[in-house]
Amino acid sequence: MENLKIDGARLWGSLMEMAQIGATEKGGVNRLALTDLDRDSRDLFTRWCEAAGCTVSFDAVGNMFARRPGRNNDLPPVMTGSHLDSQPTGGKFDGAYGVLAGLEVVRSLNDADFETEAPVEVVVWTNEEGSRFAPAMVGSGVFAGEFELEDAWAKTDGDGLTFGAELERIGYKGEGCGDRPATAYFEAHIEQGPILEDEEKTIGIVSGAQGQRWYEITLIGRESHAGPTPMAVRRDALVGAASIVTAVNRIGHDFQPGACATVGMLESKPNSRNVIPGEVFLTVDFRHPSDATLAEMNDALRAASEEAAKANTLELGFNQIWSCPATVFNPDCVNAVRKGAEIGGYTHMDIVSGAGHDAIYMAKVSPTGMIFVPCEDGISHNEIENATPEDIAAGCQVLLHAILDRAGGN
């Protein structure tokens, strides 16, 4: 098994071809979940998998499963995968790498005429990004029982279109969800941060992921004319929001090491240059490896929001719309990744994921591990996101050995 090799050039070619779907001028992709472009990427994945001898199915939330049979098909499969949807100005590796690395493992096993004991399944999870339908990781969340299927179907985008209707429209609404046990799940991904590059390591052995909380905050004041309205009587929602934005940044610095705090969206109404803003909507993203620290950050945000509303005579709507506790991955799967890195002779280090991944929800229902490879300057969720062919191939080679460690064969 140690002599099996993936085809790095073939993997790179598949990534570049997939990146043409939703390609942007700056070299990234815009492939939002359940759009026509998402459907096109799924169609291409299906054609490739069927050509590799896999059977492809999809469930009621649109998660796709490409199955390569094993010697004993009564065994639960070893799963690997990620997602094909992107941010509006996303990169060509985020998500797609994990999916196509799984496909390359299947192709390489075919090339070697290698029969695994357990089946191998390559998975495409629906709406991992959460940029069109919040929150993130809906497909894997429904699969793992964290979200109700009907609630997922009812999610709406900015135009009021529902998740369920759009899933049906693109032709990927199947039946059932979460009734597929797995022997193990592995996910290969670019790091989306600078640590591996700074440490000059090729492989990140991911031991777990930090916790996350998402918030939506609304401040309502009173619209009035920018000229005749005295400063002392204004109820300026944007001034209150500015105070919260500053507080979010302060909280991120106060809870180091490990804290990340971000205001990602801010919408002001009526958004006219000579009208005092009467309503502002903003989102907050908190992350930390400690759930206890996240709770303290939550308390600090709530206090700052209430203070901003009181100081500016505003109505406050404060909602935590999603949370995900810190995750520890399965030791056997982590060790399988470590062995794969050692077999390949790659420099490696242990690392905790700063981003959310479908592997976090899979860890609730299956032994799970992740593999990171470096990305240039740690940049992701950006059209200039980049990785080298050599690192991409190395991560896939480690994935191959990790899968074989759990699936057995020959």
pLDDT tens digits, one per residue of 145-161:
999 999 999 999 999 99
Reported as a single tens digit per residue, the pLDDT across 50-81 is 999 999 999 999 999 999 999 999 999 999 99
Kindly tell me if the per-residue pLDDT of 3 is higher than 90. Answer: no
What's the confidence (pLDDT) of residue 356? 87
What's the confidence (pLDDT) of residue 177? 95
Kindly tell me if the per-residue pLDDT of 241 is higher than 80. Answer: yes
294-315 residues labelled b (16+ CB within 10 A) or e (exposed): beebbebbeebbeebbeebebe
For the record, the structure tokens of 287 come out as 């992350």
Percent of the chain clearing pLDDT 70 (strictly above): 100
CB–CB of 282/265 below 8 Å? yes
On the CB side of 59, CA atoms within 13 Å amount to 23
Reported as a single tens digit per residue, the pLDDT across 108-143 is 999 999 999 999 999 999 999 999 999 999 999 999
Kindly tell me if the per-residue pLDDT of 1 is higher than 80. Answer: no
For residues 61 and 163, give the distance between their C-alpha atoms in angstroms, rounded to a whole number.
9
pTM (2 decimals)? 0.86
For residues 68 and 403, give the distance between their C-alpha atoms in angstroms, rounded to a whole number.
13
Reported as a single tens digit per residue, the pLDDT across 267-280 is 999 999 999 999 99
Q: Outline where 53-95 has alpha helix (H).
A: none
User: Which CATH fold would you assign to the domain 211-324?
Assistant: Alpha-Beta Plaits (3.30.70)
DSSP of 289-334: S-HHHHHHHHHHHHHHHHHHHHHTT-EEEEEEEEEE--EE--HHHH
CA-derived radius of gyration, the chain: 23
Reported as a single tens digit per residue, the pLDDT across 375-397 is 999 999 999 999 999 999 999 99
Question: Where along the chain do the CATH 3.40.630.10 domains lie?
Answer: 8-209+326-407
What's the confidence (pLDDT) of residue 348? 98
Identify the burial level of 104 via C-beta atoms within 10 angstroms of its C-beta, where 0-12 means exposed, 13-18 middle and 19 or more buried: buried
Q: DSSP letter for 240, please.
A: H
Helix (H) or strand (E) holding 264: strand 260-269
User: Which CATH fold would you assign to the domain 8-209+326-407?
Assistant: Aminopeptidase (3.40.630)
